[in-house]
Structure 1
Amino acid sequence: MIGTEIELPVSDGVVSGVDFGGRGEGVLLVHGSGHNAAAWADVAAHLVRDCRPVAVDLRGHGQNRLVSTGPEQYWRDIGSIVTALSWNHPVLVGHSTGGYAVTAAAAAGVVEPAALCIVDGVVLDDRNTSLAGHAVLRTAETADRLRAMFRYGWNATEEQMRTHVEQCVQEAGGDWLNAGARPALVEEVTRRSFLRRGHGWTRQPTVEEIVAVSAVEPGTAVFPSIDVYDRITCPMTIVLADQGFYASRCDEARAVVDAAPGRRLVGISSHHNVPMTRPAELAAVIADLVRNRSENIGQER
């Protein structure tokens, strides 16, 4: 599905995004690390009959020229984005790192969502374990691995960029993250990850972006650890992929869900990249949240 390119003001500039159209309640779609707004195109195609889905590029991703200089800007931007869209109590949907982004935005009160949908992006560690994990992301070894695996920060010529995009599409069927995704969608997401700089292209995000957002402070109130869910009061759905990053931690996710009313856990047969590989199933979960929101508003009136 092709949407309309938009720019949304935040504290120090604008972030890019895609408005997929539709009418009704607002649904903000937030991608994970290394992805961009295009990853939501097939999910949005199923949602436009029920709501108005908008996807954004996080700082340092997609077509954004804004980058992170600290660990919280990318999720604090969500408050400014919702304000710019003139939405009241939207449904927030986040995949992977985007799952924490929407959770943190709600926990900090920068936005008051009607509901959260967290897609294979839960935070289940305590603070000390989380700090250690984030420290690993700032090592030279991790930087080298990200460059080798995903080409983060790669400066390419036009020809190199086009060749890389074609290669990603050709190899998608055997790629454990993209297997099952529509080839044209893989092409669009990969293409959008390159930002024009002068006569060349830079693969976003850069390693520097990953380092910036992983420099979390141990004493902050809103922290990427399991206690963040104590601050969530709105309905919350966690979608776990049975072959995703958290497949072995289903019981821990279940405990988060059981800790408060209005929460549910939904399993889905997929690898981690759920929005691209299982868009119809994920859209059905999101549409259910939208319908529940509309019904609750109707009852209040």
Structure 2
Amino acid sequence: MSKEIFFDVDGGSLAALDHGGAGRPVLLVHGTGHNAAAWEAVAAGLVADHRVVAVDLRGHGHSSADSVNAEQYWRDLAVVVAGLGWERPLLVGHSTGGYAVTAVVAAGLVEAAGICVVDGLVLDDRAGGAAALAEIRTPEMAGQLRRAFGYGRRFDAGQGDAGQGDAGQRDAWIEKQVAGIATDWLNAGADPELVRAVSVRHFIGAVRRPALEEVMVTATASPDAPIFPSVDVYEQVSCPITIVLPEQGFYAPRRAEVAAVVAAAPGRCLVDMPGGHNVVMTHPDLVTSAVRNATLGG
């Protein structure tokens, strides 16, 4: 059974689920729109041999801190590692969390034994990366995210149509996520109780987190910054990298580019597996195996 722990950061606190265990420490980092509960099945498979903590990024889950710039969410990982007193952990990140663990190591803020990136890559040059971030910041994308995932929706009483009703409707929304698993492109195949746990943890009170503002702030990184979500970030990572590439994930069509990142330095490994983008929840056994077998430094 995990316990909730907190870390003080600029602007509030970060929440995390401490799963216990002993052995090599492993920090699990979710992607945009998810939270620490997404890792529950993976964590259960790791605790026999690892010390495992899963963190809520800023603006997500039970973390009270929100982002005011595009780098805080990945810089915070250094605060978590230091707060835990860990030396040379394995950092594992899914989706945006994959970039977060890469960036914090590339910046020299955490000395990691290795990183494991689960369908969370940056493959464009800086110009392409800046264009991709600009697309995220458009009103059209904000509308799509709100409709698809409910980011920022309020479920408290007195909000009218815009607020979607009261707390009872919030609970109904949670159960709708569970009931729709079979036809959900992201969650199809996931354990219903895992989807419920993640959906419940989305809320502080009546607000579905993250807010759209959180997503937009983290998409404002400057292409002139030393650490930027572009393919050159991997040149600044000297520890081993294990990349998990689902066959129907976001980066499967760019497998040749992923393979080039792996081939660019020793100690890098590419792990192919079935499934779509959300393999952390739909194929946790395979992700657990990939983490257990991740290439590590001494």
TM-score (norm 1): 0.94
Query: How much identity, in percent, do the aligned residues show?
Result: 50
Q: Which amino acid aligns with 2:23?
A: G
Q: How many residues align?
A: 288
Residue 217 of structure 1 is matched in structure 2 by 222
Distance (whole Å) between structure 1 residues aligned to residue 82 and residue 106 of structure 2: 17
Residue 154 of structure 2 is matched in structure 1 by 155
> Could you tell which deviates more after superposition, 10-19 or 124-133?
10-19
SS of 2:20's partner is coil
Residues 178 and 196, structure 2, Cα contact 8 Å, conserved in 1 = yes
What are the superposed Cα offsets for residues 157-186 of structure 1, whole Å, 9 maximum, x if unpaired? 310111011111010111111011100000
Q: Does 1:235 align with 2:234?
A: no
Residues 147 and 153, structure 1, Cα contact 8 Å, conserved in 2 = yes
Unaligned runs of 5+ residues in structure 2 are: 156-165
CA-based RMSD of the aligned residues comes to 1.0
Residue 173 of structure 2 is matched in structure 1 by 164
Residue 273 of structure 2 is matched in structure 1 by 268
Residues 13 and 65, structure 2, Cα contact 8 Å, conserved in 1 = yes
Shift of 1:262: 0.2
Shift of 1:149: 0.6
Residue 10 of structure 1 is matched in structure 2 by 9
Residues 150 and 208, structure 2, Cα contact 8 Å, conserved in 1 = yes
Residues 10 and 81, structure 1, Cα contact 8 Å, conserved in 2 = no
Q: How does 1:60-209 map to 2 (within 5 A)?
A: 60-156=59-155, 157-196=166-205, 201-209=206-214
Residues 115 and 240, structure 2, Cα contact 8 Å, conserved in 1 = yes
Residues 245 and 273, structure 2, Cα contact 8 Å, conserved in 1 = yes
Shift of 1:9: 2.3
SS of 1:289's partner is coil
Shift of 1:267: 0.5
Q: Which amino acid aligns with 1:98?
A: G
Shift of 1:289: 2.9
Distance (whole Å) between structure 1 residues aligned to residue 51 and residue 139 of structure 2: 42
Q: Which amino acid aligns with 1:97?
A: T
Q: Does 1:251 align with 2:256?
A: yes
What are the superposed Cα offsets for residues 206-263 of structure 1, whole Å, 9 maximum, x if unpaired? 1100110000112101010000000000000000110010110011000000000000
Residues 26 and 91, structure 1, Cα contact 8 Å, conserved in 2 = yes
Q: How does 1:269-288 map to 2 (within 5 A)?
A: 269-288=274-293
SS of 2:91's partner is strand
Distance (whole Å) between structure 2 residues aligned to residue 11 and residue 164 of structure 1: 32
What are the superposed Cα offsets for residues 128-181 of structure 1, whole Å, 9 maximum, x if unpaired? 111011011111111111111111000113101110111110101111110111
Residue 160 of structure 2 is matched in structure 1 by none
Residues 95 and 120, structure 1, Cα contact 8 Å, conserved in 2 = yes
Shift of 1:92: 0.1
Residues 32 and 95, structure 1, Cα contact 8 Å, conserved in 2 = yes
Distance (whole Å) between structure 1 residues aligned to residue 80 and residue 98 of structure 2: 16
Unaligned runs of 5+ residues in structure 1 are: 297-301
Residues 9 and 84, structure 1, Cα contact 8 Å, conserved in 2 = no
Residue 28 of structure 2 is matched in structure 1 by 29
Residues 11 and 80, structure 1, Cα contact 8 Å, conserved in 2 = no
Residues 104 and 228, structure 1, Cα contact 8 Å, conserved in 2 = yes
SS of 1:20's partner is strand
Residues 137 and 219, structure 2, Cα contact 8 Å, conserved in 1 = yes
